[in-house]
């Protein structure tokens, strides 16, 4: 209480130094020392809180990113299973080599997925994985199946499988499979939390303890002495705070609380929880206050010693002291502003044996931690993107493998489309949309019957109409995936024409977006330059001339011009064949509108 009465409101340091020069007494120096300690104590305290916030938010965002990515993967797999099985998962259909291959590829495509299962409405199905389910895990599967039957997704509690060095902590995620409002089965995946174990170990340093709890306050994972996965953690007040905030809490909170040890000892703590709303979990970091505020205590003792010396030498060193005090604070302020702008490479270059030197070291340590965790976030984002692209390539590869005559077609169309988009000056974000759209442009063919898709000859009008539905089938397959909504036009409209004679909507002119215009040119170029059962590959020069002759009617002139430029530069890496006679080109162009439509549809 006496310290609060003696501590003044905040004053600029320059005024305190002027007070020393004017009064040359102990009282102004005492005010000065108290003010400096207060400022730096709050900054150090804030830094510790910021560090805990950063660590828990980083871990929480990593968990959230992986969970959302798993949702996308499960949605993609569910779509592929429905298309492959025709939405029929009865006992005689669920255990097919195609469905088992899809499930095994799903598990092998991600190191985080340890087990996957597909069950029909009779709870019969197939499963694969790197772990063997025990009785507790089977109970989780039963709960997940009941939830799926009610049309709900399910997130289970953390379970410990196996023992010793093979011990794994897994969590079951499941999603119902519906067709026409009818429950046709459940798709489940067990996620191995080994990645989270490593992250928690990295974050646990300098007395900091990190762990994860679920919506009931049970331990999911963490290095807590005498606590195991699934154990109740509500005796910690920070866990109670999270539960009181509700399972959908979204704000990070830092609290000071007290832990009572079995021997009756009282330990003041500083803790932070960062919610993971999608799972209703929380990442928690806590540290004893005497460790969290150790720099503050040390600073206070040193500040007292310097204040006593400063009283005797106040007049002599006042100017020198002003420079020594204001300079480091300016450096720290500038560095803080740089970090606030996102420049985590900023360091405080300050050599001092005072508390400012220690503050600079602490500041630099904090900045290094921030930089490392930001780098971890970026790396996690890149890994998630790579996993996302791998899933897309897996789906496109499954389509190409279904039709042996067009193997590699999606990859080539993707390469050509990306080259054209780059030539037309697209941004990196737009090029990525073109790349994914082109990779999946024929995904709807996964639902076309083999007798039509693999027919070694021209299609009948009825078969042609069925083949044309691959555009809308592909769009319908991917439409439930929110992250792919910008790619739908390229998949659904890549057989449209500027003159309105395309399909499926018959769009005309400006009604047709630019992305499908690019894919249309790339698709036609590949279809006409590769061998098919019903035609031989044509010389690329010939194909370019045919496409050029159809500018303004079928193809976008700007896209055609870009194709001509990159072809002349040799960027398409195709073998040049002899240039055909101009009369042949003119005759081919006259009937190309109908022919190209058939060729590209079959592609």
- Strands 113-119 and 125-129 turn out to be antiparallel
Q: Look at 322 and 263; give whichever has higher pLDDT.
A: 263
User: Does residue 280 have a pLDDT over 90?
Assistant: no
Alpha helices in 341-469 (DSSP H): 355-402, 409-423, 428-439, 450-453, 461-468
DSSP assignment of 484-496: GGGGHHHHHSTT-
What is the C-alpha separation between 357 and 584, in angstroms, rounded? 82
Are 464 and 473 contacting, i.e. CB atoms less than 8 angstroms apart?
no
Half-sphere exposure of 501 (CA within 13 A, CB side): 13
C-beta separation of 390 from 383 below 8 A: no
pLDDT digits (tens, 9 = 90+) for 226-236: 778 888 888 88
Cis peptide before 504 (omega within 30 of 0): yes
Query: How does 48-72 read in b/e, with b if 16+ C-beta sit within 10 Å?
Result: bbbbbbbbbbbbbbbbbbbbebbbb
Residue 5: band (very low, low, confident or very high) from pLDDT cuts 50, 70, 90: very low
Each domain of the chain, given as residue ranges in start order, spans: 2-42+296-377, 403-602
Q: Could you tell me which of 117, 114, 111 has the C-alpha nearest to residue 77?
A: 117
Question: How far apart, in whole angstroms, are the C-alpha atoms of residue 194 and residue 165?
Answer: 12
Of 179-193, 300-314, 358-372, where does mean pLDDT reach its minimum? 300-314
Count the Cβ atoms, other than its own, within 10 Å of residue 156.
Answer: 22
Q: Which CATH number fits domain 403-602: 3.30.420.40, 1.10.3210.10, 2.40.50.100, 1.10.357.10?
A: 1.10.3210.10
Summary count for the chain: helices (H), strands (E): 23, 11
The residues facing 185 across adjacent strands are 177
Pick the more confident residue, 117 or 477.
117
Give the model confidence (pLDDT) of 440-483 as tens digits.
888 888 888 878 877 777 788 898 898 899 899 888 988 888 88
Q: pLDDT: is 42 or 213 the higher one?
A: 213
Residues 6+ apart with CB under 8 A from 539: 529, 576, 577, 578, 579, 580
What is the chain's mean pLDDT, rounded? 80
Q: From CA 114, how far away is CA 193, in angstroms rounded? A: 9
Per DSSP, 231 falls in state: -
**In this structure, is the dihedral angle defined by the CA atoms of residues 407, 410, 416 and 422, taken in order, positive or negative?**
negative
Average of per-residue pLDDT across 40-58: 81
User: Do 359 and 41 meet the contact criterion of CB atoms below 8 Å apart?
Assistant: no
Q: What are the two backbone dihedrals, phi and then psi, of residue 499, each rounded to the nearest 5 degrees? A: -85, 5
Distance (Å, rounded) from C-alpha 171 to C-alpha 103?
18
pTM: 0.45
């Amino acid at each position: 209480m006496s310290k609060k009465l003696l501590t003044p409101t905040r004053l600029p340091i320059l005024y305190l130094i002027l007070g020393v020069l004017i009064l040359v007494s102990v009282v102004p120096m005492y005010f000065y020392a108290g003010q400096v300690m207060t400022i730096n104590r709050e900054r150090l305290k804030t830094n510790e809180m910021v560090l805990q916030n950063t660590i828990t938010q980083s871990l929480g965002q990593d968990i959230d990113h992986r969970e959302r990515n798993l949702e996308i993967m499960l949605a993609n797999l569910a779509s592929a299973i429905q298309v492959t099985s025709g939405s029929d998962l009865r006992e005689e259909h669920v255990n097919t080599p195609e469905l088992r291959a899809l499930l095994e590829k799903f598990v092998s495509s991600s190191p985080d997925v340890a087990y996957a299962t597909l069950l029909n409405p009779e709870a019969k199905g197939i499963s694969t994985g790197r772990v063997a389910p025990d009785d507790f895990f089977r109970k989780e599967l039963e709960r997940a199946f009941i939830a799926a039957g009610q049309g709900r997704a399910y997130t289970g509690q953390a379970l410990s499988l196996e023992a010793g060095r093979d011990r794994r902590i897994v969590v079951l995620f499941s999603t119902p499979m519906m067709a026409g409002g009818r429950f046709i089965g459940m798709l489940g995946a067990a996620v191995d939390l080994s990645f989270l174990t490593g992250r928690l170990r990295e974050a646990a340093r300098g007395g900091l303890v990190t762990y994860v709890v679920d919506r009931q306050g049970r331990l999911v994972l963490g290095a807590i002495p005498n606590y195991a996965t699934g154990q109740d953690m509500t005796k910690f007040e920070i866990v109670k705070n999270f539960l009181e905030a509700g399972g959908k809490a979204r704000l990070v909170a830092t609290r000071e609380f007290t832990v009572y040890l079995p021997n009756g000892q009282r330990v003041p703590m500083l803790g932070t929880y960062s919610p993971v709303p999608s799972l209703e979990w929380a990442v928690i970091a806590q540290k004893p206050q005497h460790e969290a505020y150790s720099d503050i205590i040390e600073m206070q003792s040193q500040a007292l010693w310097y204040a006593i010396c400063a009283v005797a030498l106040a007049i002599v060193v006042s100017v020198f002291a002003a420079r020594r005090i204001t300079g480091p604070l300016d450096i720290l302020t500038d560095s803080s502003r740089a970090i606030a702008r996102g420049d985590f490479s900023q360091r405080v270059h300050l050599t001092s044996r005072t508390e400012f030197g220690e503050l600079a070291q602490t500041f630099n340590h904090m900045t290094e931690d921030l930089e490392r965790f930001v780098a971890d976030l970026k790396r996690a984002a890149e890994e998630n993107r790579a996993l996302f692209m791998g899933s897309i390539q897996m789906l496109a590869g499954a389509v190409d493998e279904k039709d042996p005559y067009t193997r590699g077609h999606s990859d080539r169309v993707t390469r050509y489309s990306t080259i054209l988009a780059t030539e037309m000056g697209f941004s990196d974000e737009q090029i990525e949309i073109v790349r994914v759209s082109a990779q999946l442009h024929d995904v709807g063919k996964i639902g076309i019957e083999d007798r039509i898709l693999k027919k070694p000859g021209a299609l009948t009008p009825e078969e042609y109409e069925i083949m044309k539905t691959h555009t809308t089938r592909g769009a319908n397959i991917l439409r439930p995936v929110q992250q792919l909504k910008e790619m739908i036009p390229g998949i659904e409209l890549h057989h449209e024409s500027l003159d309105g004679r395309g399909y499926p909507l018959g769009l005309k002119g400006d009604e047709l977006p630019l992305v499908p215009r690019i894919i249309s040119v790339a698709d036609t170029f590949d279809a006409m330059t590769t061998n098919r059962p019903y035609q031989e590959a044509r010389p690329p020069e010939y194909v370019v001339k045919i496409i050029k002759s159809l500018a303004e009617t079928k193809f976008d002139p700007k896209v055609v011009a870009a194709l001509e430029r990159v072809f002349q530069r040799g960027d398409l890496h195709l073998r040049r064949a002899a240039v055909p006679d101009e009369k042949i080109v003119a005759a081919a162009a006259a009937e190309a509108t109908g022919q190209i439509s058939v060729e590209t549809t079959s592609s």
